[in-house]
């Protein structure tokens, strides 16, 4: 609350002084039935009419402590209209009965406050008006000197409370208008908003729901300035517990909150088609959940700080998929990927690419098992092709490179060196017809020093160039070797 209610400022003790002059022994009496002056044993002096030895009619009474009363008396008691000046400087003017304010009256306090209304047995009781020194005003019901019942309290700064009071505090149904124009309508308890109520702020913010100890706590609806809407439970003004958040842009979150953040289980649905359902922590995806992307791709698995992390499976809109380990939103670690054409890879990944040991299997029968680096075959591996060709050896940048052996059915087997996918360097080729060439190659052709041995036992050694023996060398036997283009032909380099 921006303002606090003042006390009535009335000293109950001062108003309850039930001074009675009966029984006091007069020290001096003058006159009978007329205006007299009489001093009593307590030091008080009475000047006025008397009856039967008691003040009766109109008279003025003073005490040494400064108390004064001037008005009507009945049988020694202040009764009727009168004016009382109390020792604290307060002045009461109005009706008395049996020595106490009773009926309509007004008291002016030393600080400038003025309170008028109905009095019973020395206390404010009934309707009244209090104007305080600070400029605040109360108009309404009193009981036992306290605001009680219905009343309006207006402070100098513009705060207005209109509603129920209980024993001096604001309790019950009420309407509060704050200096900034904000308005609260609802229940109050012990000077605080408590129960059901609605707060509306000029900037467009509003809350309609439960309050506890002047705080938005319990179930309610919040309308934010930017157009967002929250329906659910709050604790001390923050979203906490189950709730639904509808954003101005069309996004929706429905689930649990903690300390004003999405926390626990919940579902977020974006206007753009993005959605997430699962665990949250401090406003981010954390734990197990399912994420659907605008293009229709889905990820199911573990999250950390809004990103896939740990074990998870993603199914892409084009039909491809991956299941395995993730690190901060990137495929990383061991897993299995499947392409739309059915090609699968099972093995290690790094930064979203095949990296480490793994096996790739294509629907046409092609397989590769071995080392990978940045998505390319690198290191030791074995590639098997649909036609039965098998290469077992070293790879670099997706090409045969280094030492390796290739077997091509019904053609040849070559074991030796490779450079950038080409048979280059020292090696041995064994042909289907039994011929064997052992020596140097260049780009798939016999080139350099080498020996070609035939199944007949004959052989041809010398310098070779572009697949043929140098002209200065001996003539080859009449029986030809298998077409050497089978050796110079580029090795299979793909899937």
What is the average pLDDT value for the chain, to the nearest integer?
91
pLDDT digits (tens, 9 = 90+) for 9-22: 565 334 434 454 44
Q: Would residue 122 count as lying in a domain? A: no
**Does residue 166 lie in a domain region?**
no
- In whole angstroms, what is the distance from residue 471 CA to residue 463 CA? 9
Average pLDDT over residues 381-388: 98
Residue 31 has pLDDT above 50, yes or no: no
Residue of 89, 91, 51, 53 lying closest to 69 (CA atoms): 91
Confidence (pLDDT) at 2: 47
What does the alpha-carbon distance between residue 164 and residue 123 come to, in Å, rounded to a whole number? 20
CB atoms within 10 A of CB 144: 13
CATH number at residue 277: 2.20.110.10
Which residues span the domain enclosing 307?
226-340
Give the residues across from 322 on adjacent strands: 314, 337
What's the pLDDT tens digit per position in 330-381? 999 999 999 999 999 999 999 999 999 999 999 999 999 999 999 999 999 9
Q: What total number of domains does the chain contain?
A: 2
Tokens of 147: 């605001």
Q: Are 372 and 358 in contact (CB under 8 A)?
A: yes
Q: Residue 168 domain-assigned?
A: no
| pLDDT tens by residue, 131-172 | 999 999 999 999 999 999 999 999 999 999 999 999 999 999
Q: What is the DSSP string of 412-459?
A: EEEEEEEETTEEEEEEEEEETTS-EEEEEEETTEEEEEEEEE-TTS-E
Question: What's residue 53's pLDDT?
Answer: 86
Angle at 232 between CA 280 and CA 223, to 5 degrees: 105
Over residues 49-77, the pLDDT tens digits come to 999 889 999 999 999 999 999 999 999 99
pLDDT digits over 96-117, tens only? Answer: 999 999 999 999 999 999 999 9
pLDDT in tens, 410-450: 999 999 999 999 999 999 999 999 999 999 999 999 999 99
- Token pair 């400087």 is found at 89
Say whether pLDDT at 389 is over 80: yes
Please tell me the chain's helix, strand, coil percentages from 3-state DSSP, rounded to the nearest 5. Answer: 0, 60, 35
Which of 340, 369, 386 delimits the end of a domain? Answer: 340
- What pLDDT, on a 0 to 100 scale, did the predictor assign at position 470? 81
Q: Does residue 484 lie within any of the structural domains?
A: no
Residue 27 has pLDDT above 70, yes or no: no
Beta strands 344-350 and 330-338 are: antiparallel
From 320, 340, 360, the end of a domain falls on 340
Q: Is residue 58 part of a domain?
A: yes
In a domain, 369, yes or no: no
Handedness of CA 327, 333, 334, 338 (dihedral sign): positive
Q: Count CB atoms within 10 A of the CB of residue 350.
A: 17
pLDDT at 308 over 90: yes
Tens of pLDDT, residues 268-290: 999 999 999 999 999 999 999 99
Mean pLDDT value across residues 73-84: 96
Residue 24: predicted pLDDT: 43
Q: Could you tell me if residue 437 is inside a domain?
A: no
| Pair 83, 76: CB distance under 8 Å | no
Burial class (CB in 10 A: 0-12, 13-18, 19+), 13: exposed
In a domain, 171, yes or no: no
Q: Give the position of tokens 């400038």.
A: 112
pLDDT of residue 234: 98
Q: Which of the listed residues 340, 367, 396 is the one where a domain comes to its end?
A: 340
> How far is 326 from 310, CA to CA, in rounded Å?
5
| DSSP tally for the chain: helices H, then strands E | 2, 40
Nearest to 170 by CA among 195, 198, 196, 151: 151
**Residue 494's pLDDT band (cuts 50, 70, 90):** very low
């Amino acid at each position: 609350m921006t303002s606090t209610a003042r006390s009535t400022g009335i000293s109950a003790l001062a108003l309850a002084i039930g001074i009675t002059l009966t029984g006091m022994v007069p020290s001096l009496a003058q006159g009978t039935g007329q205006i007299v002056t009489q001093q009593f044993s307590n030091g008080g002096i009475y000047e006025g009419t008397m009856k039967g030895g008691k003040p009766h009619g109109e008279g003025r009474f003073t005490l040494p402590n400064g108390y004064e009363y001037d008005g009507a008396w009945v049988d020694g008691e202040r009764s009727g209209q009168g004016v009382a000046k109390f020792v604290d400087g307060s002045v009461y003017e109005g009706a008395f009965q049996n020595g106490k304010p009773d009926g309509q009256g007004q008291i002016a306090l030393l600080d400038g406050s003025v309170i008028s209304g109905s009095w019973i047995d020395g206390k404010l009781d009934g309707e009244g008006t209090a104007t305080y020194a600070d400029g605040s005003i109360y108009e309404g019901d009193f009981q036992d000197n306290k605001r009680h019942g219905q009343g309006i309290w207006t402070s100098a700064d513009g705060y207005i409370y209109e509603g129920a009071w209980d024993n001096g505090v604001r309790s019950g149904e009420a309407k509060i208008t704050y200096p900034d124009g904000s308005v609260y309508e609802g229940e109050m308890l012990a000077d605080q908003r408590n129960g059901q109520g609605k707060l509306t702020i000029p900037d467009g913010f509003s809350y309609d729901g439960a309050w506890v100890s002047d705080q938005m706590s319990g179930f309610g609806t919040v309308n934010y300035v930017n157009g967002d809407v929250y329906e659910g439970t709050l604790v001390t003004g923050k979203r906490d517990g189950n709730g639904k958040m509808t954003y101005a842009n069309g996004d929706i979150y429905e689930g649990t909150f903690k300390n004003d953040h999405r926390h626990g289980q919940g579902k977020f649905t974006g206007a753009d088609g993005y959605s997430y359902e699962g665990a949250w922590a401090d406003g981010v995806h954390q734990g197990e959940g399912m994420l659907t992307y605008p293009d229709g791709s889905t990820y199911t698995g573990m999250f950390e700080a809004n990103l896939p992390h740990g074990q998870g499976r993603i199914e892409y809109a084009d039909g491809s998929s991956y299941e395995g380990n993730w690190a901060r939103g990137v495929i990383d670690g061991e897993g299995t990927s499947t392409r739309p054409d059915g090609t699968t890879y099972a093995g290690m990944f790094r930064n979203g690419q095949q990296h480490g040991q793994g096996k790739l299997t294509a629907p046409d029968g092609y397989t590769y098992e071995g080392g990978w680096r940045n998505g390319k075959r690198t290191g030791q591996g074995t590639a098997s092709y649909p036609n039965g060709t098998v290469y077992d050896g070293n790879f670099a940048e997706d090409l045969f490179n280094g030492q390796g052996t290739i077997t091509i059915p019904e053609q040849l087997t070559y074991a030796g060196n490779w450079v950038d996918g080409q048979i280059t360097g020292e090696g041995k080729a064994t042909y289907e017809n039994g011929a064997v060439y052992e020596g140097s190659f260049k780009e798939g052709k016999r080139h350099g020093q080498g020996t070609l041995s035939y199944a007949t036992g004959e052989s041809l050694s010398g310098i070779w160039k572009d697949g043929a023996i140098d002209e200065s060398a001996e003539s080859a036997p009449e029986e030809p070797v298998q077409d050497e283009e089978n050796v110079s032909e580029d090795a299979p380099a793909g899937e």
